[in-house]
């Protein structure tokens, strides 16, 4: 089980005199749990997601984001994974490194790439993750031994350096994709579409869930995946999110302004963000209270005690 720990996170817009947005966020998400992060517009929800992702528009001024991994999370890594590679300071890492450690941060649409199908794009994403992961967990002592070997002109590991090493092939990937699309109850034709072929808003959201199913992250951060969806598509996307948790044990940080999606995705924990801080946390009943009473009572609570 992986744990994403956010402690006292402060972040500002990364420019001279940039506005401070996050003002002490505390949050802990374990794999297998669904956390809803709710709050009024402008409270800092998307900024939280972007800072977890390592977005360059924001500068972290205080606090930590730590990812803790257990045996299960590193089961794919050959050999022992030492203690120092089980706890990662995400703020020290590049966005792609964070992703390789098992944090999923939403779908990228490289619109400039002509003629790439979803299938190929997803396969490339999976292979890029595996390669980055291998580098992160590489045993430095072994590296030195390899460097020595290279110097001495001996190569005792002929498989090393093969560019296809560890990559998932086309046929194997097709099988994986088929399984995941079945899991998500998605139309097979979807995967044959071209990336730049103009997906609808709802299709983009479904692609986001599909990508998370393929990459099998420990923790997925989904920002407003419910926005602009009609009720059928909302149900499909919600079932996909439930499947991520139930079938793959993914932890989900589900960012949403509206309670609506929580009728279909039952959160284990609900948090309310007000002005860059978590002002209130609770169970699924908290989301219901917010639907009935709005956010004002939480805001009043914050400013009464301040």
- Segment lying near Mg ion (by CB under 5 A), choices 18-26, 54-62, 94-102, 128-136: 54-62
Q: Which residue number, 8 or 20, has a Cβ lying nearer to ligand ADP?
A: 20
Q: How far is the CB of 42 from Mg ion (least distance, A)?
A: 8
Alpha-carbon span 78 to 111, nearest angstrom: 36
Based on the shown chain and the rule CB under 5 A, indicate whether residue 46 belongs to the binding site for Mg ion: yes
* Cβ closest to Mg ion, residue 49 vs residue 126: 49
In the complex, minimum distance from the CB of residue 158 to ligand ADP, in angstroms, rounded to a whole number: 49
Structure tokens that stand for 137 in this block: 């967990």
Rule CB under 5 A: is residue 196 a binding residue for Mg ion?
no
Q: Which option in ligand ADP, Mg ion, none does residue 44 bind, with CB closer than 5 to 8 A by kind?
A: ligand ADP
Please report how close the Cβ of residue 163 comes to ligand ADP at its closest, in angstroms.
38
Nearest to Mg ion of 45, 245 (CB atom): 45
Nearer to ligand ADP by C-beta: 41 or 156?
41
Closest residue to bound Mg ion by CB = 46
**In sequence order, what are the residues at sequence separation of 6 or more whose Cβ sits closer than 8 angstroms to the Cβ of residue 187?**
181
Contact 271, 281 (CB under 8 A): yes
CB of 105 to Mg ion, least distance (A): 14
Burial call 237-253: b when 16+ CB within 10 Å, e when fewer? bbbbbebbbeebbbbbb
The CA distances from residue 189 to 12, 114, 119, 233, 273, in Å, are: 43, 19, 10, 17, 39
Segment lying near Mg ion (by CB under 5 A), choices 40-48, 111-119, 198-206, 284-292: 40-48
- Contact between 278 and 271 under an 8 Å Cβ cutoff? The reply is yes
182 binds, among Mg ion, ligand ADP, none (CB under 5 to 8 A by kind): none
Q: Shortest gap between Cβ of 260 and Mg ion (angstroms)?
A: 16
Write the binding mask 57 to 76 for Mg ion: x where contact by CB under 5 A, - elsewhere.
-----x--------------
Q: Where do contacts with ligand ADP occur on this chain (CB under 6 A)?
A: 13, 19, 21, 39, 41-47, 57
Q: Minimal distance in Å, beta carbon 41 to Mg ion?
A: 7
For residue 74, what are its two tokens? Answer: 């590193």
| Interacting partner of 267 out of Mg ion, ligand ADP, none (Cβ under 5 to 8 A depending on kind) | none
Q: How far is the CB of 52 from Mg ion (least distance, A)?
A: 13
Residue whose C-alpha is closest to residue 66's, from 37, 47, 88: 88
List interacting residues with Mg ion (CB under 5 A). Answer: 45-46, 62
């Amino acid at each position: 089980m992986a744990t994403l720990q956010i402690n006292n996170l402060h972040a500002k817009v990364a420019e001279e005199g940039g506005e401070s947005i996050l003002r002490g966020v505390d949050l802990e998400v374990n794999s297998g749990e669904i956390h809803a992060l709710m709050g009024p517009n402008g409270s800092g929800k998307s900024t939280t997601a972007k800072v977890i992702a390592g977005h360059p528009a924001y500068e972290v001024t205080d606090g930590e984001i730590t990812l803790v991994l257990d045996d299960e999370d590193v089961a794919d890594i050959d050999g022992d994974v030492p203690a120092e590679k089980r706890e990662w300071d995400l703020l020290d890492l590049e966005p792609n490194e964070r992703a390789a450690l098992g944090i999923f941060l939403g779908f990228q649409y490289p619109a400039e790439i002509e003629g790439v199908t979803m299938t190929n794009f997803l396969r490339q994403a999976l292979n890029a993750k595996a390669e980055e992961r291998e580098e992160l967990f590489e045993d430095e002592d072994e590296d030195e031994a390899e460097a020595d070997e290279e110097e001495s002109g001996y190569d005792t590991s002929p498989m090393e350096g093969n560019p296809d090493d560890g990559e998932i092939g086309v046929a194997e990937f097709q099988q994986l994709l088929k399984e995941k699309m079945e899991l998500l109850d998605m139309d097979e034709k979807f995967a044959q579409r071209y990336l730049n072929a103009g997906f609808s808003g709802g299709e983009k959201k479904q692609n986001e869930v599909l990508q998370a199913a393929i990459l099998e992250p420990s923790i997925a951060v989904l920002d407003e995946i419910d926005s602009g969806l009609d009720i059928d598509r909302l149900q499909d996307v919600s079932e996909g999110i439930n499947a991520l948790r139930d079938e793959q044990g993914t932890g989900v940080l589900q960012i949403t302004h509206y309670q609506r999606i929580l009728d279909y995705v039952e959160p284990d924990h609900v948090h309310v963000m007000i002005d860059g801080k978590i002002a209130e946390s609770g169970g699924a009943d908290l989301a219901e209270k917010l639907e009935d009473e709005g956010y004002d009572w939480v805001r009043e609570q914050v400013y009464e005690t301040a």
